[in-house]
Structure 1
């Protein structure tokens, strides 16, 4: 039974859809259940409230407009990292940024903030509502796919200067010219922590930006001997941090 449950589909639903013993799926989710996933009455799914609770639910009626389910049992969150990892990432091409949001959600990042740096491909600091909505949908679907219990938060885009005063326990910046300090060197050993990691654009950070960050407590760290693409750097940095803090479950 436990093996079967692990591979069940998960759905984040608004709190009002979760009643005492009943789940009422909104129309878009009902359509997904019936037309896309082709689930049937009697099958089990997880319903998540984005508050750390998950509900093992049996589908009672499957309808493209209003699917209903019966709550079998409520479970507390078990798949969220104890540590808080906040990824600050330079604005880049849309497909690359969305890929970073998706994959970093899967491995356990809690928060994202797009950042405009000197060498960013775009200098816009205001994301329109449509773009923000798309980003939110991407991380929600990634959280469902990876069996997470909470949807990571995507903060508004900011200029690099706004990162300087960020108050985190550990503030790291991935820097290709750092050859000595690694991520394990800069973090506590397998202990919960509030960590921020800043990943720059394709052209890297300017020397002036690194100097400013260093003056405000951001510590440059190496990701190894090879120079990585920014999207690869984001994945590698976040994986190394979560693994070092004991948050990967392996």
Structure 2
């Protein structure tokens, strides 16, 4: 079987049990049988070769035949603090961030934000992280934090921190090259207020622009993710 399956609770011995959702996918969609060997991952970096020993409609159990630490992470740890767009654009943003190797996504609370990162929305995004990780063969789950204010994000920012705004200087990759941890802050469709831009600058963030065109939230996020994660290790 070519598909990968998430193991929510990593095995403590040689036996592993898939949760109900993954078990149903194995049994009903993949029509798995005892003796099949599948690939599992625990979201913490370990990949498993698992031989199925019991296949039920709601519970599939297997035996670990091999396991290894397999990292497909980017050379730099990128945190994106993003004022979430509305609707299905949120899931699309998460999928592409996972594929590009973003380490952490922080839903950003801003004065002009249009989508509130309530608990149910955060849960949906975290499920989307798992599905995207299965598809792109990433073994570490991208972290999706609860919503944070700009002040909270700035309080724990790394040295290489950037706020995207049309008034900023042109973004150059040379500013990222020495950094192992990078923070990119992206505002809502209506943009940051002047007060928010000033607040970020006062905290030492570089205010930068990605060009003369007005970008959607997810476009700006992925442009930054591509720029950061494509660079070799510092």
Q: TM-score normalized by structure 2?
A: 0.89
Distance verdict in 2 for CA 1:231–1:20, change over 3 Å:
same
- Check the 8 A contact 1:51/1:150 in 2, yes or no: yes
Mapped pair 1:30 → 2:23: yes
CA shift, 1:80, in A, is 2.1
Q: How does 1:69-218 map to 2 (within 5 A)?
A: 69-122=62-115, 124=116, 127-128=118-119, 130-178=120-168, 180-188=169-177, 193-218=180-205
Name stretches of at least 5 consecutive residues in structure 2 with no aligned partner.
Answer: none
Runs of 5+ consecutive residues of structure 1 not aligned to the other structure: 1-6
The answer as to whether partners of 2:129 and 2:142 remain within 8 angstroms in 1 is yes
Counting matched residue pairs gives 234
CA contact 1:12–1:140 (8 Å) conserved in 2: yes
Alignment correspondent of 1:237: 224
Q: CA deviation at 1:95?
A: 1.9
1:208 and 1:93 mapped to 2: Cα distance?
Answer: 24
Cα deviation code 1:50-100 (max 9, x no counterpart): 222111122333321222222221111221234211110013313222221
For 1:47 and 1:210, locate their aligned partners in 2 and report how far apart those are by CA, in whole Å. 44
Q: In 2 relative to 1, CA 172–245 (structure 1 residues): closer, same or farther, beyond 3 Å? A: farther
- Counterpart Cα distance in 1 of 2:163 and 2:109: 15
Q: Distance in 2 between matches of 1:66 and 1:91?
A: 35
The Cα offsets for residues 18-52 of structure 1, whole Å up to 9 and x where unpaired, read as 24222222232111112123334443322112222
Task: Flag as ranges the 4+ runs of structure 1 deviating above 6 A.
Answer: none
Say if 1:55 and 1:175 are closer, same or farther in 2 by CA, change over 3 A: same
State the partner residue of 1:14.
Answer: 8
User: Are the aligned partners of 1:183 and 1:240 in contact in 2 as well (CA < 8 Å)?
Assistant: no
In structure 2, how many angstroms separate the alpha carbons of the residues matched to 1:196 and 1:104? 14
1:218 CA drift (Å): 1.0
Partner of 2:211: 224
Q: Deviations over 1:143-176 (max 9, x none)?
A: 1111111111111112222223223131111222
